Amino acid sequence: MSALRVLLCTEGTYPFVGGGVSTWCDIICRELGDIDFSLYAITGLPETAYRYEPPSNVSQVVHVPLWGMTEPAEHLHQGHSYSSLRFRRRHTTPAVIEDGFIPLLKGLLAQISAPEPDPEEGGRVVHGMWRYFRLRDWQRTWRSEAAWRTFVEEALRTYEERPDAYLEDEVPSIDDLTTAMQWMYSYLMPLYAPVPEVDIVHSTIAGFAALPAIVAKYEHGTSMLLTEHGVYIRERYISISQSDFTPFAKRFLLALASFVAKLAYHHAARVCPVADFNRRWEVPYGCSPDKIETVHNGVDPEVFQPRPKPQSTAGSPTVVAAARIFPLKDIKNMIRSAAVARESVPDVRYLLYGSLDADVPYVERCRRLIAELELEETFHFGGMHSKPAEIYAEGDISILSSISEGFPYTVLESMACARPVAATDVGGVREALEGFGIVVPPVDSDALGDATAKLLRDDELRARLGRQAREQVLARYRMSHCVDTYAGIYAELTERA
C-alpha cells in the first residue's frame, strides 16, 4: 500500500522561517514519518535559505515567492523547457486575455468587493484563474492594457455609483490603483504555481496558502484540512490598521484578506484551530461550527523539563522570553514592563532570545526605547539560542507580551520546565495558562510588570505554579497527543474521500 500523500501549505513560515508555526510543521512532518509530505511554501522573496532541514519523508518543496521575481515563470516552472515558457508568452495574446482572463478578473473583483461574497462562486473563479495560467503567462496577462482597464473600472465602480458614501480622501488616486494592482499581481502568485496531486491538502493558515487547497478541491476533489494558529484575518486587521496606507488601500487589502479567509473556511472539510479562542473569528467569517475541532499544540516533556538555574543567572531574579522581535510580539510592551518591575525588584534582569533579523527597524526602535528608559543594565537581547530547551532554565519565570497569538509553544515549553509565565491575554494563552501563571490585558505594561514582580517576589507562589504548570502539560499538552490526533484526522479525511 502506497504512503498517504499530504501537501502541507505554509505562508512565511516552514521551512524558511522560525517560530511557533514552523515548530509545529516540523513536528508534524517528523513524527508522522510514514506519510509522504510535499511542502508548498509561500515566502516574501525568492532568495531564501532553509531555517529547517525537512526530514526524508518530505519528497518535494514547491517554493512560491510573492515578490522579487523578474520572471515568475522561470522560478515557478523550473522543470519546464525554455520553449514551453516561450509558448506561454507567445500565446498570451490580447485576444486570449480579453476572452479568457478578463471575465475571471471581473468575477474575482466582484467577489472581493461584495459585502457577502459567494464562496462557491469565489472558489470557481480562483480555480478558473489557476487553469487559465496553466498555459498562459503571468506577466503578460496582468500587465496587459485590458487587465489594467478592467481593474480600474471595477475598483472605481462603487465610488461612481455611490459618490456621497465616501469622503474625498477615500477616493483612490492613480497611485492607489497602481499599488492595489501590484498587490493582486503578487498576492495571487499561488495561482501561477503547480499544485501537486495528493490525497489531502493541509493549509496552516486561512490566508493565501489556502489557495492551492481550494484549487486541488476543484481540480481533483481533494479534501482540505485547515489548521489555524494565530487568526489570519484578525492579524491582518491589526497590521493594516497600524499601517500608513491610504483609506482606499486599507479597505482594498482588508477586503482581499477577508475574501481569502472566507474561501478557506468554507472549502475546508475540517478546521482545527489550536485554541478555542479562534472560533470567535472562524464562525462569523463563514466556518460551519460542526467542522471545527480544536487541537491544542503539545511539547515533549522529556526535552522540556525542569533544570536548575545556571551560574550565570543564579544570583539575580531573571525573566526570560523566546520570541521573534517584531510588532505582533509587542516587545516594546515587554521593555516597558521591565521598567515597572524594576521599581519593586531593582536587580531584575530580562533576557530575550530571538532573531534580530526578522524586522531590523523594529529592533532598532526597541533599542532606542531601552536607552530612553535607562534599561541597558536590565533588558538584554540574546539573539538566537542554539538550545531552546535550556532558555527557560536561565530564568525564574518567563514572559510573553504579544498582541496576537495562537496557542504559543513558548508558554507550553516554559510550563513544562516548571517556570510560571506572566503573559498577555491573547489567543489561546488563557486556555493554557489560567491557574498556572498570571494573565494580564494586552498592551498594559503596568499590569505585565506588576505580574512579573509578583512572581519574582513570592518564592512559594512561583514554585507552586511552576509545579502545577508542568503537571498540566503532562496531563493535557503532550506532543504525542497532538500528533496522534492529526494522524486520526488524516485517516478520517482519506476514508471520506
| Tens-place pLDDT, residues 175-221 | 999 999 999 999 999 999 999 999 999 999 999 999 999 999 999 99
Q: Give the pLDDT of residue 71.
A: 85
Grid cell at residue 229: 494558529
Q: Give the pLDDT of residue 1.
A: 59
Q: Give the pLDDT of residue 165.
A: 72
Stated pTM of the model:
0.92
| Tens-place pLDDT, residues 342-365 | 999 999 999 999 989 889 999 999
Grid cell at residue 109: 473583483
Residue 362 CA to its chain's centroid (Å): 19
Q: CA torsion angle for 381, 387, 393, 399 (degrees, to 10)?
A: 50
| Tens-place pLDDT, residues 18-74 | 889 999 999 999 999 999 999 999 999 998 899 999 999 999 999 999 999 988 988
Strand 379-383's sheet: what is its strand order? 379-383, 349-353, 318-322, 397-400, 421-424, 438-440
Query: What does the angle CA 273 – CA 277 – CA 282 come to, to the nearest 5 degrees?
Result: 60
CA-based diameter of the chain, in Å? 77
Asked if the model's pLDDT at residue 230 lies above 70, the reply is yes
Alpha-carbon gap, residue 132 to 287, rounded angstroms: 28
Q: Which of 1-10, 81-90, 135-144 has the highest mean pLDDT?
A: 135-144
Domains and CATH numbers, the chain: 5-291 (3.40.50), 318-477 (3.40.50.2000)
What is the helix (H) or strand (E) element at residue 415, kind and residue range?
helix 409-416
Alpha-carbon gap, residue 146 to 100, rounded angstroms: 11
Asked if the model's pLDDT at residue 85 lies above 80, the reply is no
Nearest to 421, CA basis, from 446, 448, 383: 448
Alpha-carbon gap, residue 393 to 371, rounded angstroms: 27
DSSP 162: -
Question: For 350, phi and psi rounded to 5 degrees?
Answer: -110, 130
| Tens-place pLDDT, residues 448-484 | 999 999 999 999 999 999 999 999 999 999 999 999 9
